[in-house]
Structure 1
Amino acid sequence: MKKSTSILLAIALMFSLTFVSCDAINNANSTQKGAGIGVAGGALIGGLIGGNITGALIGAAVGGAAGGIIGNSMDKQADKIEEVLPGAEVKRVGEGIQVIFDDKSGVTFATNKADLTDTAEKNLDAIAEVFLEFPDTNLLIEGHTDDTGNADYNMTLSKKRAQSVVSYLESKGVAGNRFDVTAYGETRPRFDNSTSDGRSKNRRVEIGVSANEDMIEDAKAQAN
């Protein structure tokens, strides 16, 4: 029985990955992103990707007509973020948004530091205005470091960096109950830690934007 169950799960996994690949999700338009991923399929792929913003956003997908409505709202919000933060990487993922700050957008950190620079505060001022304009969202804040120093120390430092961003956004009026902070330390580099430029870019925060319960319920009501 256990062997048969394992075979069935493997088959289900294969078909899920075949029909809903990550590339397809990232390349889809707003309606496809919202309506094309059901709750079950989104949760499966989100779990496979693992504990990061991309996985969380895909796993949180509502799907159906309501998902399409949410996706349309997220398109508008993503456009606003790109407008006010031209240096940041803004990606539509599932029914949500992923914002990646690096040295181009100015929200990075000095070695062993969690303090926000003047440039970082200026850019956070800009994105805070967008978050205030679109209040029915949850905000996942991830903190990261380069691989310099002790891994345990870097984990703590990455949390401090994420919390610095949260505290600053709260000071600009963004409600504290919208935030969920995750620290990854040095475990999820985007750039080459063997170069000084790569290490600088890895000392960063990332933000995920997803629909909160109010937005989901409103989208379901519109869909019906």
Structure 2
Amino acid sequence: MKKLLSLTLAASLTVPLVACQSQTDPLTGRQQVNNTAAGAGLGALTGAVAGLLIAKDKSGGDQRKAALIGAGIGALVGGGIGNYMDQQEAELRQQLASSGVSVTRQGEYIILNMPGNITFATDQDQLNPGFFPVLDSVSIVLNKYPQTLLDIDGHTDNTGSPQYNQALSERRAVSVAQYLNSRGVDPRRLLVVGFGQTQPIAPNDSQAGRAANRRVEIRISPLS
């Protein structure tokens, strides 16, 4: 079982986005967001965006493409798709080196795997503050390449009931989506998906396997 949620902004509502600017860390060379009010801004945004989660009609297709193209964001075509995704992949790999987040290319798609042990405390759905700089780096690249759609997929191991794990996977995916939105990522690009324990990438019969299965993935696909 999985649940799909899309993040949209109602025209009559304004979500408070924190003013931020990027700078380069002199030690790592990684771009970071310089934001003196990160905690307060994220708290204000979390309530606003959470109230705007709506169920996605799977039979109606992906409505994000129509929304973005209607807003003037052009679709990628032909050979430009591969080049666009190649450049984005290279920048993500540079930004996320030694971060604990893996970058995988699958055809035209890029998948970021964020292990649960560095993203969330056990059984919690609030992001670890120490992971904020990593998501800041991700946001900088995503904002530079707006012609992509972003699926935020939450996954758990099989410890606990399927119902509990389903809900936890959804809440964790929402937390990541909210943080990206707080850093300027257009919510019309986002789709939040909770998979619970249904898509393990390792056996759940060991501690290492369960740790691998507790993750949030960002699936980046071209707007085409």
Aligned to 2:204, which of 177, 183, 193? 193
What amino acid sits opposite 1:97 in the alignment? Answer: I
Cα-Cα RMSD:
2.2
Which structure shows the higher helix fraction? 1
**1:136 CA displacement:** 1.5
Which structure shows the higher strand fraction? 2
Match of 2:79 in 1: 68
Match of 1:3 in 2: none
1:92 and 1:161 mapped to 2: Cα distance?
A: 23
Count residues in correspondence.
149
What do the CA deviations read for 1:23-59 (whole angstroms, capped 9, x no partner)?
Answer: xxxxxxxxxxxxxxxxxxxxxxxxxxxxxxxxx9xxx
Residue 102 of structure 2 corresponds to residue 89 of structure 1? yes
Match of 1:150 in 2: 161
Alignment of 1:183-222 (within 5 A): 183-212=194-223, 216=224
1:124 and 1:159 mapped to 2: Cα distance?
A: 18
5+ long unaligned stretches in structure 1: 1-55, 57-64, 217-224
**1:103 CA displacement:** 6.1
**1:114 CA displacement:** 1.0
Structure 1 SS opposite 2:90: helix
1:152 and 1:195 mapped to 2: Cα distance?
A: 22
1:171 and 1:154 mapped to 2: Cα distance?
A: 26
What amino acid sits opposite 1:79 in the alignment? Answer: A
Q: Normalised by the size of structure 1, how large is the TM-score?
A: 0.61
5+ long unaligned stretches in structure 2: 1-61, 63-75
Aligned to 1:116, which of 124, 127, 141? 127
Q: Stretches of 4+ moved more than 4 A in 1? A: none
**1:196 CA displacement:** 2.2
**1:110 CA displacement:** 2.9
Structure 1 SS opposite 2:77: helix
User: More displaced, 190-199 or 72-81?
Assistant: 190-199
Structure showing greater radius of gyration is: 1
User: More displaced, 166-175 or 196-205?
Assistant: 196-205
Q: Is the 8 A contact 1:146 1:203 kept in 2?
A: yes
Higher relative CO (Cα under 8 Å, sequence separation at least 6) belongs to 2
Q: Is the 8 A contact 2:121 2:128 kept in 1?
A: no
Q: Normalised by the size of structure 2, how large is the TM-score?
A: 0.61
Q: Is the 8 A contact 1:136 1:211 kept in 2?
A: yes
Alignment of 1:23-172 (within 5 A): 66-86=77-97, 87-102=100-115, 106-107=118-119, 109-172=120-183
What do the CA deviations read for 1:84-126 (whole angstroms, capped 9, x no partner)?
Answer: 112322122222211112268x33x333211111232221111
1:121 and 1:200 mapped to 2: Cα distance?
A: 20
1:114 and 1:103 mapped to 2: Cα distance?
A: 10
Report percent identity of matched pairs: 41
